[in-house]
Amino acid sequence: MAAASLEDQENRKAWGFVTPALLWTICFFVIPFIVMTAISLATRTGREIVMAWNFDNYITFFEKAHLLKGLFVSLEITFTVTIISILLAYPLAWIIAERVPQKWQRMALILAVLPFWTSYVVRSYSWLLVLAKNGVINNTLIWIGVIAEPLEMASTRSATIIGFVHFFVMLLTLTIYANLVQMPPNYRRAAADLGANGFQVFWHIVLPLTLPGIMVGAFLTFVLCIGDYITPQILGGNNELALPQIIMLQLGRRADFPMAATLSIVLMGAVTLAYIACARWLKMERT
């Protein structure tokens, strides 16, 4: 009897802790998501939104090549950014964790995340000035005689990727660094004692143990990058539209909330698939 009462008490306590988070999620995620899904099943007639409860907007999305292309542009940019960011962040995190003396590591991390302190928009516009025809890079390359004519870098997909990578390398550095410093040095020593060379130690010991950090950082990069509107808008020069830009066009120019909701659901679908892949992989790693 007493045990049951204690269990009830524990249950009530657990619900007490969980309820605020649950309410928050219901109010600010579940309900808006249901509303957004419902709106995506409506149609816009004139300036009116009529609840049609059909999938016309989804069919339109797959029928109109310029809308579908938005998803592919977003995915291509996001995958490219994620891969380049991992390739740059890993060595940076490694250097901070392994080569920088411990007393300087905190300072190195602060320096690594320093660009976080500036506004995201300002940072994007700054990149535009750096990459412009008369920008820092072109002027320097011309001055030292590497090129005769300025390179076309601003208002391109490359510019968008550079802007994104600059931001996400910092994020990935933090998640990978956290994994590297938690790794007991004995593992590497043991591998070395057993005859593994430097590359083998990295490939068979260090990399597998830091993969969770990479995956978590990669997932965050994927989510933030695929939903970003500002960077492609400023640095891409509107030369191709990512899905968030198309969503903004539906809202800003056409007040077509049903189509905007449809595209948002598609975007969420892509993020959900990425999450499932990431979660399954992490689960597989643990088993």
Partner 1 sequence: MFRHVSTGITRKKLLTGAATIIVGAVAVATQPNPAQATEELNALVWCDHTDPALLAPFEEKYDVKVNLKEYEGTGAGLSIIEQSRPGDWDVFVIDGVDVHRAVDMGLLAEIPADALPTSDIFPEVVMAENNVVDGKTYAVTEKFGYNTISFDKTKVDPKDMEDMSVIWSDKYTGRIAVYDYYLPVIGLVGLGLGIDTADLGTDDMPAIKEKLFAMKKVAKQVGEVVSSQTALATGEVDILVGGGEWITAVLSEDKPNLDWIIPKQGALRWAQSIGVMKDSAKPDLALKFVQYILSPEGQSKLATSSCYWGMPANAKAGEHLNDAQKAALRWNDQAGYLKNSQLYPIPDENLDAQMQDAWVEMLQQ
Q: Which residues of the shown chain bind partner 1 in the complex (CB under 8 A)?
A: 46-47, 64-67, 69-70, 73, 132-134, 152, 154-155, 234, 237-241, 246, 249, 251-255
Q: Are 153 and 160 in contact (CB under 8 A)?
A: no
Q: Are 243 and 263 in contact (CB under 8 A)?
A: yes
Length of the chain as a residue count: 287
Nearer to partner 1, 173 or 233 (CB): 233
Q: Where are the alpha helices (DSSP H) in the chain?
A: 2-25, 31-40, 56-63, 65-94, 102-112, 120-131, 136-143, 157-182, 185-193, 198-201, 207-226, 230-235, 243-252, 257-286
Distance of closest approach, residue 282 Cβ to partner 1, in angstroms: 36
Nearer to partner 1, 234 or 266 (CB): 234
Nearer to partner 1, 205 or 249 (CB): 249
Distance of closest approach, residue 40 Cβ to partner 1, in angstroms: 18
Nearer to partner 1, 19 or 139 (CB): 139
DSSP state of 43: E
Distance of closest approach, residue 88 Cβ to partner 1, in angstroms: 27
Distance of closest approach, residue 69 Cβ to partner 1, in angstroms: 5
Nearer to partner 1, 228 or 240 (CB): 240
3-state secondary structure of 49: strand
Burial level of 244, CB count in 10 A (0-12/13-18/19+)?
buried
Distance of closest approach, residue 236 Cβ to partner 1, in angstroms: 9
